[in-house]
Each structure stands twice: as C-alpha cells, then as structure tokens.
Amino acid sequence: MKGIKTTWDLTLLYANENDPQIEKDLKTAETAFLGFAKKYQNSQEYLANEALLARALEDYEGLYQVGIEKPYAYFKYRWDLNSQDRVAQQEVTRHEERYRNNLNAILFFQVALASLPKDRQQEFLKSKILEPFRYFLQCAFAQAKHTLSEPEEKIMNLMGLPSYSLWVKGNEKLVNLQKIPWKKKELSIFEAHTIIASLPKRDRDSLGTKINAARRHVSYFAESELNAVVLNKKIEDGLRHYEKPYSSTVLMYQNEDATVEHLVATVSKNFSIAHRFYKLKAKLLGLQKLSYWDRNAEIGKTKRKIPFEKGVAITRDAFSKFGPEFTEAFDHFLSNGQVDVFPKSHKHGGAYCSSYPSLPTFVLLNYVPDFNSVSTLAHEMGHAFHAKFSKERQRPLYQDHTIATAEVASTLFENFVFDEVFSSLSAEEKIVALHDRIMGSINTIFRQIACFNFELELHYTIREKGELSKEEIVALMNRHMKSYLGPAFSLQEDDGYQFVDWSHLRNFFYVYSYAFGELVSNALYEMYINDHAAKEKIVQFLSAGGSNSPENIFAAAGINVRDPKFFEMGIQKINSDIDLLEQLLKKAK
C-alpha cells in the first residue's frame, strides 16, 4: 500500500541489538538518575523551601526526558513480534533489572516527600510557585501513608522481579508452549481463541474442550503462580496499609474508591441486561442452552470483506469528520512504521498501543479483513491520539495518562468508526453488526466486572486460607462467570480453567478500567452527537494527560462520574441497543 508501512520500524529506536547507542542511552540515564541522587539525597533543604522544591521538581521532571525506558521498550517490542526471539527475551529481563536499579537511585525523593508533615503539605499545595506541580504533589501526598522507608522501598522494588514478574512470565511461557491439534494443524491457545467464535457449533464445542484440556494440563503451575503473586500482594498491602485488595490499583489509576465501588455495584446489579442479551443470542443460534464457548459465537458475517487498505480508508473518513488533525496524525502513524498490522507466527496476540513520554508511540494489530478488525484499528488509534495530544500539550511530568482515562479514548474512537460503517450496511448486516457491538459491550462492562468480583473474592479467600487449590479457583471462576452469563448458559467444570491464561488477573483489578472507559466514552460520544461543539471538550480531555484525576478531567468535560446515577444511565444504553436489535429482527422476518 502506497505510503503505508505495515510492519514496525524499530530502527526508530535502535538499529539492532548491537547498536552502541543502547549502552550510551543506558549510561546517559544512569548518569542522570545518579546525578539527581547526588544533588538531593544528602540535603533536604528543598523540603523547607517552596522555591528550592520547585527547582528539585524541575530536575526530577527532567528524568522523564532521558529515555530510561528506551532499551527495555526496544527489546520488548522485538519479543512481542517474535516470542522465539531469545536475545530479546533475555535482554528484556536484563534491562528490567537495570530499570529498577535506576528507580531505586531516586526512591529517596518519593520517601522524602511522603515524610512531610500535613501542615507543610498544605502549604506547598497552596503555593503559587509550586502550582505547575500541584497535582503531582497531591498524588505524592496521597501515597504518603503507603510509603515505606527508603531501604524498605528499595527492597520492595528489587523483589518485584522474583516475587511477581518472573512468576507471571513463567506461566506465560508455559501457556505459550501448549499446542492444540486441530484440522491437521497445531494451534497455540491464543490462535485457537481467535478462530473458535467463527466455527460451527460442533467444532466450537470440540475446540473449546481441547482449549480447556490444554489449560488444565498446565494448571498445576498456574495454581502455584497465582497463589504466589496474590500472597505477595497480601504481604505488600499489609506493609503499606492498604485497606482493600483493590485500593492500591485505584490509587495508582488516580480514581476514587467511591467511584469504582459505585461502578462495580451498579454493573453487578444490572447483570440481568446481559442475561437478556444471551437469552436472545440462544434463540438466534437455535440452541436451548449455550455452552461457555458460545459466548462470542458469530450469528452471521457481514458479506463484505474489508482488506486493510479499505479499513484504513473507512477509519480515515470517520476521523476526518472529527477534524483534520486526527487524519494527519493517523497518516503519520501509518507511514512512519509505528503500526504493525498483520498476524504472524509467534507474534503477540490481540492488539495494543504502547506509549512512553520520550519515545514514539507504537501500535500492534493482528488485522484480518473483517469489521471487528476495523473497530480494533480505531480503538488502538484512540489510544495513540490520546498519547499524541498529551505529549504535545502537557509538560513531561503529565504527558502520561492513567489506565482509567486511556480506555475512554480508545472506545470513543471506536464509536466514530461504528457509525461510519453501520449506516452503509444492509438490513441483514446491521443485525450482525449490532449484535457484535452489544456483545462487545457485554464483554467490556459485565464480563470485566464479574471478573473484578471474582478477583476480590479470590484475594480475600487466599488471604484468609493461605492458598487455594486449582479446583477451588475453577469453582470460584465458574460461579462468577455464571453470575453475568445467566440462565441461558450451562457451564462445565473445565470452563473455570480460564484463570490459567487470563492475563488481566495478574494485573490486579485492572479490569474495572474497561467498564469505566466504555461507559464514560459513550457519554462523551452522545454529547458530541447532540452538539458537535463538544469536540472542544473531547480534545481537552485527550490533551489532559495525567494533569488531574479522571474524575476531575471528566468533570471539566461536563461528565460527573462521581454521581452514582451516571453509570446506571450508561448501562441502560445497552438495553436500548438490545431493543433496537429486537426491532431489526422483527423487520427481517
């Protein structure tokens, strides 16, 4: 395709693993971090003087610009392109350790800020000189009661690799090695996942049984791994005085506990909406009961294939209606080798957008010629736009953004592309597309909150009992999945082995951000549809980076996520979509 590169150009980072610039960059970063430590570690005058603290914060902010993540990112991207790249795999571990050592060198600064008495904290928060750093200080002071001494923090930082990262990586490696015999081929568990929804019922059940068997085969390790990382979290939460298992995640994502608790309670209370959808889906599939592997089963396909060049054109047209700055950014990402498009053997599955403040943004896809892949392209570009505008319009300290706001940007741009395509579809294709959209919302909102509830019970139970057997974890998983799937489903015991390769469970309580993101993005999109002048508010949000809490960023855009009724209103939109689907089905008879 003219002007478009469909593979990552990692020379934007380094020429190869032998590039001497890698070591030069590492030395530059280490010199900067050690220089900061030498300047401030043995003198704490800045803790008593707002002008000196402002200077120290400017120096601290400068560390965001030395590219400490660049060598690690390069090898991580290589590994994601080829899981058999042993050099990349080894270098990821090595650079992760050096990265932690650099962070350890400046831990004293975080500890020093946390040690400030509350009256001094309030003085600094009111200071005009420190106004550019106010939100950073607010976050630092919020973390204060959870911050340990400097030696303890260094130990915790270093122990993160053997007590968490290597456990999780070990499980991922073991899962990736499993091969599932299918139609004269051998599939990885991920590859089996990608095709199962499109298979006929008999094949779907057969392949699902094989996936479950592969998971069960390695569940002995996942049992130990999950117990280990959850117990490690219990120890760390106890040392840091976090009240609830999810408190550290919510604080890290800069949300408020009350917001997340309202979200979880509201979605859980409305699981009946998911039940309603699956009852309709069972009818569409002509089944009395659904098996777990029918959850994402296709009810049909849009007749048209959408090759990548066509998908790009559709996405570009949708973005152009929102503004030329978005098409220009889209074109640049595609032409600059920042999007890796097509599936390849040993490539990381799924899709993601990776962005660091001082580095180019990279988007990974596994594009196949269908409507879902076009939606995924729009989704990941939403992340990329968020990164671009935040980098351009925020100071380095605030260029990054929390997970809670990131998922809003991605879903928002997915909405633009859906409407661009939907109006052009035939009546039959509209039924398929709307079904798939509702199914996506059910997965993003209800399934993720059911997973949050599972995690919460898992953590509390392991904290109480010390550990859980894989059979107990399986039973717990099935009970929580059944809570949102409802009576239309008949689950088998082995379906609970999905805990083995559900990576989100290892990013503790991360899943709530998906539900939060979709509900907020839907509200932003409705605001824009009703009044295109709301574009200014959307760009304001995309440009906010991490300069304020998600609650305050969205309040500035006219959306009050602190209102418990907000999530209820967003959820009811799914009910409206189900109403529309039923109307389309009646007309099609």
Tell me: the pLDDT tens digits for 320-370?
A: 989 999 999 999 999 999 999 999 988 988 899 999 888 999 999 999 998
Q: What pLDDT is recorded for position 226?
A: 97
Greater pLDDT, 553 or 589? 553
Beta strands in 524-567 (DSSP E): none
Calculate mean pLDDT across residues 364-390: 94
Calculate mean pLDDT across residues 455-477: 97
What's the pLDDT band for 385 if we cut at 50, 70, 90? very high
Whether residue 1 is predicted with pLDDT greater than 70 in this model: the reply is no
- Token code pair at residue 415: 């909405």
- Token code pair at residue 584: 């389309």
How far apart are the C-alpha atoms of 294 and 171, rounded to whole Å? 27
- Token code pair at residue 123: 């003085």
**Domains of the chain, residue spans:** 10-166
Whether residue 45 is predicted with pLDDT greater than 70 in this model: the reply is yes
How far apart are the C-alpha atoms of 214 and 216, rounded to whole Å? 5
Q: What pLDDT is recorded for position 345?
A: 85
Q: What pLDDT is recorded for position 218?
A: 96
DSSP tag of 245: T
The CA distances from residue 347 to 56, 78, 176, 179, 341, in Å, are: 43, 9, 11, 15, 11
How far apart are the C-alpha atoms of 575 and 67, rounded to whole Å? 46
What's the pLDDT band for 2 if we cut at 50, 70, 90? low
DSSP string, 487-503: TTB---GGGGGGGGT-G
Beta strands in 191-287 (DSSP E): none
**Geometric angle at alpha carbon 305, from 303 and 308, rounded to 5°:** 160
> Among candidates 360, 407, 351, which has minimal Cα distance to 388?
360
How far apart are the C-alpha atoms of 485 and 153, rounded to whole Å? 42
Residue 531's contacts (CB-CB under 8 Å, 6 or more residues apart) are: none
What's the pLDDT band for 9 if we cut at 50, 70, 90? very high
What's the pLDDT band for 303 if we cut at 50, 70, 90? low
Whether residue 302 is predicted with pLDDT greater than 80 in this model: the reply is no
> Among candidates 116, 164, 108, 163, which has minimal Cα distance to 137?
116
The burial class, CB within 10 Å (0-12 / 13-18 / 19+), for 549 is buried
240-260: per-residue pLDDT in tens? Answer: 999 999 999 999 999 999 999
Domain 10-166: give its CATH code: 1.20.140.70
Q: What pLDDT is recorded for position 573?
A: 87
Phi, psi of 399 (to 5 degrees): -70, -30
- Token code pair at residue 386: 């968020």
**Geometric angle at alpha carbon 12, from 7 and 13, rounded to 5°:** 115
